[in-house]
């Protein structure tokens, strides 16, 4: 008898385990920490938009064809056309229109009680080339800073640095008007430098970043020694932003960030302080310097202080004469003046134009500077 044995079960396919390793490396503690979350920038683009709108408004009210027959682009730009190149080579409005729109004019600030010009001037630009240079700089520098630190801190850094640049300019350049966002832009550069120094421990390529940033700053400040460039606004804005960076852009040290990103059960190291001692020291010193600088600077300005009279070499910081250009302003002798009660009257003999200034006991230097500006 043949006994049938049960047939063996069919072979089953072997189980294969596949382990998928993530291609992206584990985020660093800096990337995991909420303090380093990227912000969506909107304030800096708004600043750029506002500057462009202000320039268009200025050109609209300038209305070059109404006052001149040799406007640049009058056929297709109409009342938005530019002043003649001999008057404004930057393709922009007249100096008198910029003054009416809020340019920094020291005599109006000091004797006309128009201190608001220290802020309004940073929203005005002398021409197309001027605004393009500043807005491209603001786009590349400001966007990155707002992504890293948010709109509140960068907005304050921008405004206060612009004010500091205007204040420095008003103390040294008192014979001409000044406009532009360069002071605020240099404040952002100064803030980047102090941020790098005070947050030194969290950076990997420290010296490469420092050398690159210093090179950019030196090149931009060197451009300021050319004629018709207000380097005092650049220097004032840069120094203000540099000290503000120690106050506004301080970040926690790496050791504190690392321990806060680990689960509590794995944290076996002693608790680290959030900031290092030198960060607190730099923050305190910078805040004191800023407060003293703004108070003393405003007192000096509204008392009619001319810093050039006490610093014989400072004018070289904003213009260095060479064989190709001169830093001396054109002297105007065709101007007559008369002094009344708290009022100075000037008349340009060539054009017959007259203007009155609220100014008592004007000095010869003040009269010469006003004549030079009015009759140009």
Structure confidence by residue, pLDDT tens digits, 160-174 = 999 999 999 999 987
Structure confidence by residue, pLDDT tens digits, 77-113 = 899 999 988 888 889 998 889 999 999 999 899 988 8
Helix (H) or strand (E) holding 221: helix 206-223
Name which of 147-156, 167-176, 329-338 the model is least confident about.
329-338
Say whether pLDDT at 5 is over 60.
Answer: no
Long-range contacts of 76-80, Cβ-Cβ distance < 8 Å, separation of 24 or more: 80/56
pTM over 0.75: yes
Instruction: Classify 82 as helix, strand or coil.
Output: strand
Structure confidence by residue, pLDDT tens digits, 174-221 = 778 899 999 999 999 999 999 999 988 777 788 888 898 999 899 888
Residue 55's alpha-carbon distances to 86, 128, 238, in angstroms, are 20, 9, 24
**Known catalytic membership, residue 182:** yes
Instruction: Select which of 182, 211, 333, 360 is catalytic.
Output: 182
**Known catalytic membership, residue 176:** no
Interatomic CA distance for residues 82 and 162, integer angstroms: 26
Instruction: Select which of 166, 194, 234, 240 is catalytic.
Output: 234
DSSP class of 91: S
Listed by start position, the domains of the chain span 99-121+134-254+274-325, 329-376
Instruction: Provide the CATH number for the domain formed by 99-121+134-254+274-325 in this structure.
Output: 1.20.1540
């Amino acid at each position: 008898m043949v006994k049938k044995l049960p047939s063996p079960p069919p072979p089953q396919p072997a189980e294969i385990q596949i382990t998928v390793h993530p291609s992206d490396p584990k985020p660093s503690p800096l990337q995991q920490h909420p303090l380093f979350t990227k912000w969506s920038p909107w304030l800096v683009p708004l600043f750029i938009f506002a500057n462009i709108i202000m320039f268009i408004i200025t050109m609209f009210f300038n209305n070059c064809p109404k006052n001149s027959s040799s406007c640049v682009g009058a056929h297709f730009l109409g009342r938005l056309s530019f002043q003649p190149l001999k008057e404004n080579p930057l393709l922009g409005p007249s100096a008198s229109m910029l003054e009416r729109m809020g340019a920094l004019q020291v005599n109006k600030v000091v004797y006309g009680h128009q201190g608001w010009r220290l802020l309004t001037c940073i929203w005005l630009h002398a021409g197309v080339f001027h605004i393009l240079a500043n807005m491209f700089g603001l786009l590349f520098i400001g966007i990155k800073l707002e992504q890293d630190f948010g709109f509140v801190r960068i907005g304050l850094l921008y405004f206060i640095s612009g004010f500091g640049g205007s204040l420095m300019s008003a103390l040294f350049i008192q014979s001409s008007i000044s406009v532009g966002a360069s002071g605020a832009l240099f404040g952002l550069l100064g803030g980047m430098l102090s941020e790098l120094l005070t947050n030194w421990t969290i950076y990997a390529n420290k010296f490469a970043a420092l050398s690159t940033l210093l090179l950019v700053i030196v090149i931009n400040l060197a451009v300021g020694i050319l004629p018709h460039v207000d380097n005092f606004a650049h220097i004032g804005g840069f120094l203000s932003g540099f000290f503000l960076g120690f106050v506004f852009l301080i970040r926690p040290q790496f050791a504190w960030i690392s321990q806060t990103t680990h689960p509590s059960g794995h944290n076996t190291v002693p608790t680290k302080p959030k900031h290092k001692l030198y960060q607190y020291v730099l923050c305190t010193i910078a805040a004191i310097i800023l407060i003293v600088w703004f108070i003393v600077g405003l007192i000096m300005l509204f008392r009619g202080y001319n810093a050039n009279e006490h610093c014989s070499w400072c004018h070289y910081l904003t213009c260095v004469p060479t064989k190709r250009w001169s830093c001396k302003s054109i002297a105007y002798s065709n101007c007559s003046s008369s002094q009344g009660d708290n009022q100075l009257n000037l008349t340009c003999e060539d054009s017959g134009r007259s203007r009155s200034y609220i100014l008592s006991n004007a000095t010869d230097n003040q009269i010469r500077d006003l004549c030079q500006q009015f009759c140009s």
